[in-house]
Structure 1
Amino acid sequence: MPDARSAPSPEGITATLHRRVNGWFAAHGRDLPWRDPACTPWGILVSEIMLQQTPVVRVLPVWTAWMERWPTPADLAREPAAEVIRAWGRLGYPRRALRLQAAAAAIAESPGGLVPADHGQLLALPGVGAYTAAAVACFAFGQPEVVVDTNIRRVHARLVSGRALPEKSLTAAEMALARDLMPADRDEACRWNAAVMELGALVCTARSPRCGECPVADLCAWRAAGMPEPHYRPTGQAWAGTDRQVRGAIMALLREEGPVPVAALPRRTQESGRLGSHRPEDAQLDRCVAGLLADGLAVRHDDGPEPTLSLPG
């Protein structure tokens, strides 16, 4: 365990720390389109949904195409669900696409048809959870909400708690720490959220932190404690052979080829090349198809010569 005396307490975090991290961000933060002052709250909401569990490099081209095609919530709300799913492409977790469209529909039906600035109203939108509501309120409307993602939690864990990694899931103690670390000034607090997130993404990374580039390395409790090993062993998320991989292969067929005979799925998913050497058993295919149907990502048609599966709408 790290020596608590070496860890700066929340009360001891000074304006110097805030100035350093925010200054680093001003000099080294990535030039991303959703950070442009001209980006609309809708563009920021779209980016936050897309960035969930998906790296920036994969999101950038899809976000750009979406904003050109659907620059307002009403534009997306009017689109057939099949087109929305196709446009989502290979970002993964395609339920996010339908939830984003449901949020767009709710916004379009509201007075003014604009993304709400109120945190509570944001939280009430379909598919918008606590993190996304706080992030949109902060980054789109300048409200000093406490924004806590994995990158921010990791920086806080090392800088203040002296641990290599945050807890496996967000805890009340981590949220309290994040609140304590927020600058008092409204504008500075919003920059702080973005800056710490960027620091975790670019410098204070999970596997190979670049401490030599960190603007607050001398204040880091983890470094002061000798950079101890994580208090648990992280496990990567499996992919090969999982239902997620099989679902992804089925969705790719539906996006690229249109309706697919249900009986042909075992052969077509294998021929697609998206499963590698994995050969799903009938039970796994049936389970994945049932899940896609339940999630509204696919529709079964039994009115033709043979049952087929297609995208909805």
Structure 2
Amino acid sequence: MPTTAPSRVPTEVLHHRINAWFQREARDLPWRHDCSAWGILVSEIMLQQTPVVRVQPVWEAWMERWPTPADFAAAPAAEVLRAWGRLGYPRRALRLHAAATEILQKYDGAVPNTYTELLALPGVGTYTAAAVAAFAYGQRTTVVDTNIRRVHARLVIGQALPAPALTAAEMTLAAQLLPEDRDKSVLWNASVMELGALICTARSPKCEQCPVFEQCAWIAAGQPEPTYIPKGQPWAGTDRQVRGAVMAVLRAASSPIHADLLWDAQAAQLHLEVTAELAKLHQLNTHAPQLERALAGLVVDGLAQLSPAGYQLPA
């Protein structure tokens, strides 16, 4: 993949146009205004593979309940998973809980402010470490997520979509495009990400509203089709769907759920406390091996515990 724009548009022009657009059009999100480093870390973890519209109400309730890492580290794992609700990929909640514990123990309850220290926290990858360093501490870091990759691919390279997996060439390009000025670099990271989320979307880009339409290499190339068809993650009938349904049952329960209730719809009808969640699980008509895999996986991942009384959220 080339790392310079075919049209050789000065990066200063791109910086000015995209940053100015962001300052006019950016969404008014709570973690963008006077937010603690902890709040930004929580938002970045929640926003992984989860849209803003689902994250925002959970984030707001979360921050009211656990405004600091110390508050969160003291919370029982079961309450953490209940509060996570239906955001999906609940292991993120447990990793964030482990990160809060480490922040409390190693950093006196303050989210670390260097990329290296952030990257060492449980559940924090290269993107999240760079994002928190930039957005919480105003540092010049190269932030690259799916939205940013797509904008770079179209605007600079002239391709409809970035490569299926992040490449070294993409990271090099992102570093080349990053403004030298620290404050402008933070703004640029946020601006390009927002442009990808709102305008330069994967399926239906709003090119006529794009602030760099005239500079876009993809437009100049005639908007060529993608070289591959992205494969969305299936849901219906998958183990992930069954795991989610079981987790809903466990979140709603105040006591262990006997395995018979998970298997037997008639027995579940007598268990009034979680009838709705159990009914949804049984409506999936899950085969025995799939339910067994889901239950075993939840236990292995630390999302559920099995005792003689049945299954429940971890203590």
Q: Who is 2:306 aligned against?
A: 300
Give the distance between the partners of 1:48 and 1:111, measured in 2 at CA. 20
Q: Who is 1:62 aligned against?
A: 58
| Cα distance change on mapping 1:114 and 1:6 into 2, 3 Å | closer
8 Å contact kept, 1:270–1:279: no
| Cα distance change on mapping 1:161 and 1:75 into 2, 3 Å | same
2:186 aligned with 1:190: yes
Deviation at 1:263, TM superposition (A): 2.1
Name stretches of at least 5 consecutive residues in structure 1 with no aligned partner. none
Deviation at 1:135, TM superposition (A): 0.3
Moved over 6 A (4+): none
Give the distance between the partners of 2:220 and 2:279, measured in 1 at CA. 49
Write the mapping of 1:213-224 to structure 2, written as runs, cut at 5 A.
213-224=209-220
8 Å contact kept, 2:252–2:277: no
Deviation at 1:128, TM superposition (A): 0.5
Q: Who is 2:44 aligned against?
A: 48
SS of 2:108's equivalent?
helix
2:14 aligned with 1:8: no
Q: Give the TM-score, by structure 2 length.
A: 0.93
Give the distance between the partners of 1:271 and 1:197, measured in 2 at CA. 37
Q: Who is 1:281 aligned against?
A: 287
Range with greater deviation from structure 2 (256-265 or 81-90): 256-265
SS of 1:151's equivalent?
helix
2:143 aligned with 1:144: no
Write the mapping of 1:120-131 to structure 2, written as runs, cut at 5 A.
120-131=116-127
Deviation at 1:159, TM superposition (A): 0.4
| Cα distance change on mapping 1:49 and 1:111 into 2, 3 Å | closer
What does the per-residue CA deviation read over 1:116-172, in whole Å, with 9 as the maximum and x for residues that have no partner?
Answer: 001100011011011100000000001111000000000000001111011111111
Q: Who is 1:312 aligned against?
A: 314
2:161 aligned with 1:162: no
SS of 1:113's equivalent?
coil
Range with greater deviation from structure 2 (261-270 or 98-107): 261-270
8 Å contact kept, 1:77–1:101: yes
What does the per-residue CA deviation read over 1:51-78, in whole Å, with 9 as the maximum and x for residues that have no partner?
Answer: 0000000000000000000000000000
Range with greater deviation from structure 2 (61-70 or 258-267): 258-267
Q: Who is 1:29 aligned against?
A: 26
Q: Who is 1:92 aligned against?
A: 88
Instruction: Indicate which of 248, 257, 261 corresponds to 1:260.
Output: 257
Read off the aligned partner of 2:89 and give its amino acid letter.
Y
Deviation at 1:15, TM superposition (A): 1.2
2:291 aligned with 1:291: no
2:242 aligned with 1:246: yes
Deviation at 1:312, TM superposition (A): 0.5
| Cα distance change on mapping 1:82 and 1:107 into 2, 3 Å | same
What does the per-residue CA deviation read over 1:214-250, in whole Å, with 9 as the maximum and x for residues that have no partner?
Answer: 0001111100010011000112110000000000000
Percentage identity across paired residues of the two chains: 63
Read off the aligned partner of 2:262 and give its amino acid letter.
L
SS of 2:123's equivalent?
coil
Deviation at 1:277, TM superposition (A): 5.4
Give the distance between the partners of 1:244 and 1:45, measured in 2 at CA. 25
Range with greater deviation from structure 2 (199-208 or 260-269): 260-269
Name stretches of at least 5 consecutive residues in structure 2 with no aligned partner. 269-274
Q: Who is 2:149 aligned against?
A: 153
Q: Give the TM-score, by structure 1 length.
A: 0.93
2:171 aligned with 1:175: yes
2:201 aligned with 1:202: no
Write the mapping of 1:69-80 to structure 2, written as runs, cut at 5 A.
69-80=65-76
8 Å contact kept, 2:38–2:68: yes
SS of 1:309's equivalent?
strand
Give the distance between the partners of 1:5 and 1:105, measured in 2 at CA. 43
How many corresponding residue pairs?
305
8 Å contact kept, 1:146–1:178: yes
8 Å contact kept, 1:154–1:166: yes
Q: Who is 1:116 aligned against?
A: 112
8 Å contact kept, 1:40–1:140: yes
Give the distance between the partners of 1:284 and 1:114, measured in 2 at CA. 42
